[in-house]
Structure 1
Amino acid sequence: MGSDIVLMPLRGLSGVRSSFHYSFAFLPRSQRDALKAVYAFCRMTDDIADSPEVGELNRRVELLRKWREELESAFHGRSNYAVLNHLSAIAKRFNIPVMHFYDLLRGVEMDLTKNRYATFEELREYCTLVAASVGLMTLEIFGPRNARTREYAVNLGIALQLTNILRDVGIDGSYGRIYLPAEDLRRFGYPESDLLARKYTPQFRELMEFETARAEEYFQRARALLPAEDRRAMFAPKIMERIYFHTLLRIKQADYNVLDHEVSLPRFLQFLIALKYWVKQRLLGR
């Protein structure tokens, strides 16, 4: 594996100025350091699949295969990559099941071999692999008391990934990827060719309204599943939940037009959301 891959986590860590950064900011240092190790692994894995610096598809597939081998070496001995050795130490310290790391790899592999989803069931599987897996990786770092909190993490991960997909419909289309289920495009009479041409039509608006409502359902399901005794422990994921939910609201406020306009949440608003929740949690304990 070449040095171009070795440098990727450095870019990932220096670019933590995101919703992850603001959700981590108020945590104890030991938890922040553990979460950054997981985040570095996730960013590096994602970069292998998406970074233009990596090259053609065959090279991406080969690098991801080698990355999987290095991950296995880290868990069973010692990898050639410090980021994976550190990840292995964190996984052992916090008793993180290693299957979640392999699930993420499976999800990223899907991005290399699959650019259409026939049904929502297929899309939900993808979201579970690439996003819920991350929630489950970090769960033990937060130290929940109730086993039901696992379902909170899974549903929140799906909600976050659906929000990403809705926000990036136009961008993904420019790369030939369509995550919105084909069954939904047919249901609302919005052809794939219109999406690839970035045509904002009444049919697209209705499609996006439907998909946004579905994402909201996963946010609501996650909130309902979080046991009261774990609200304090899941402080950082709750901040993520609020930031992403506000992004979903922005999509609605833009009348679902993510094809002609970039929808995002400014960093200062992300910080204010995190600060507001921190104050609320400190004062009210929830």
Structure 2
Amino acid sequence: MTPEQYVQQKAAASGSSFYYAFLFLPKPRRGAITAFYAFCREVDDVVDDMVDPGVARTKLAWWQSEVAQSFAGQPTHPVMQALMPVVADYQIEQRHLQAIIEGCQMDLEQTRYLDFAGLQSYCHLVAGIVGEVSARIFGQTQAQTTAYAHKLGLAFQLTNIIRDVGEDAMRGRIYLPVSELQQFDVKAHEILKRPKPLAGNGTDEFTARFAALMRFQTQRAHALYDEAFALLPAADRRAQKPGLMMASIYQTLLREIERDNFPVLHQRISLTPVRKLWLAWKVQALGHV
């Protein structure tokens, strides 16, 4: 298997919304974003598939070394072998990749965030930097597009956090800020227990408090999407269509979760591949979300 085949397989196997946006890119850019996305998946999977934190730390340390070695001209992993030939073309720097690894390391050390400012610092590493690199690969020409990409990355990450509350709780993690749990009188131990709502039409007291907390999170995410779109310069709107495709998919997912009254503690809400492709195609055809 060639490095190019490896990253293609890695990206396609993830089933991510990102993959559908890549399909509309010209071949060179599609190859570059696929290799970069495969890198993100590799390091993220170290944490998601973790059984032993010590082993996960060792693996992430290996990736730090592999990135440094790759930028010194000696990549050994197929992902880095696929990525390195394009880093100069799209101004991908070692600091970008190391920052993403640093964000994954935070997942090993921290399972709570006291406030939104702290959560934003984490999101900057695991999503903002990803957005910045992606915008360069898509064809950024305006400096202002970097601010758009960081804001959109934050919106994506908050959408992921909302969708994955239950899955994260099973791993002992809560990404909802402690100050906001307190604001809505939702206890961390309640989320970790993942209590099921009452049968029938009645709404139990915890479900009502939890829904209010999640509605607050969702409103902030929607506002961040709007702020991101407002930051995107008209000159880069066409080139940044893949990001807008992802935004359409993610916003639709967010509305579905909201419509179903946030069943995220026990259910992973997702869109079908056909629907994701349809949403991506609409942005490709219309040029906007």
Q: TM-score under structure 2 normalisation?
A: 0.90
Q: Could you tell me how far 1:79 is from its partner in structure 2?
A: 2.4
2:15 match: 17
Q: List per-residue Cα deviations over 1:223-269 (Å, max 9, x = no partner).
A: 11001111101010110011001111011101122123321112111
Alpha-carbon contact 1:135-1:157 (below 8 Å) kept: yes
Equivalent residues of 1:91, 1:98 under 8 A apart: no
How far apart in 2 are the matches of 1:10 and 1:273? 22
- Taking only the aligned residue pairs, the percentage that are identical comes to 37
CA distance in 2, matches of 1:225, 1:271: 25
Task: Find the partner of 1:268 among 267, 274, 286.
Answer: 274
1:32 matched residue in structure 2: 30
Q: Give the whole-Å Cα distance in 2 for the aligned partners of 1:117 and 1:188.
A: 16
Match of 1:243 in 2: 249
Structure 1, residues 4-36: CA drift from partner, whole Å, max 9, x if none? xxxx96762341533112101111111110011
Aligned pairs for 1:119-134 within 5 A: 119-134=115-130
Q: Is 1:90 matched with 2:80?
A: no
User: TM-score, normalising length from structure 1?
Assistant: 0.91
Q: CA deviation at 1:140?
A: 1.6
1:156-207 per-residue CA deviation (whole Å, 9 max, x = no partner) reads: 0000000000001011001100000000001110111111111352110110
**Match status 1:135 vs 2:131:** yes
Distance 1:46 1:9, change over 3 A: farther
Instruction: Give distance in 2, aligned partners of 1:168 and 1:245.
Output: 15
Partner of residue 193, structure 1? 189
Aligned counterparts of 2:173 and 2:148: Cα–Cα separation in 1:
28
**Runs of 5+ in structure 2 lacking a partner?**
1-5, 196-205
Bigger shift: residues 83-92 or 148-157: 83-92
CA RMSD after TM alignment: 1.8
Partner Cα distance (1:66, 1:236) in 2: 31
Equivalent-residue separation in structure 2 for 1:9 and 1:22 (angstroms): 15
Verify the 8 A CA contact 2:166 2:267 in the aligned structure 1: no
From 71, 80, 89, the equivalent of 2:67 is 71
In the alignment, structure 1 residue 202 sits paired with structure 2 residue 198: no
User: In structure 2, do the counterparts of structure 1 residues 9 and 86 end up closer, same or farther at CA, with 3 Å as the change threshold?
Assistant: closer
Q: Distance in 1 between matches of 2:21 and 2:82?
A: 22
The structural deviation recorded for 1:106 is 0.8
Runs of 4+, deviation exceeding 4 Å:
8-11
| Deviating more after overlay: 201-210 vs 137-146 | 137-146
Report how many aligned residue pairs link the two structures: 275
What is the match of residue 3 of structure 2?
none
| Inter-partner Cα distance in structure 2 for 1:240 and 1:59 | 33
The CA deviation string for residues 123-167 of structure 1, in whole angstroms up to 9 with x for no partner, is 111111101111111222122221101011000000000000000
| Structure 1 unaligned blocks of 5 or more | 1-7
| Equivalent of residue 232 in structure 1, options 228, 238, 245 | 238
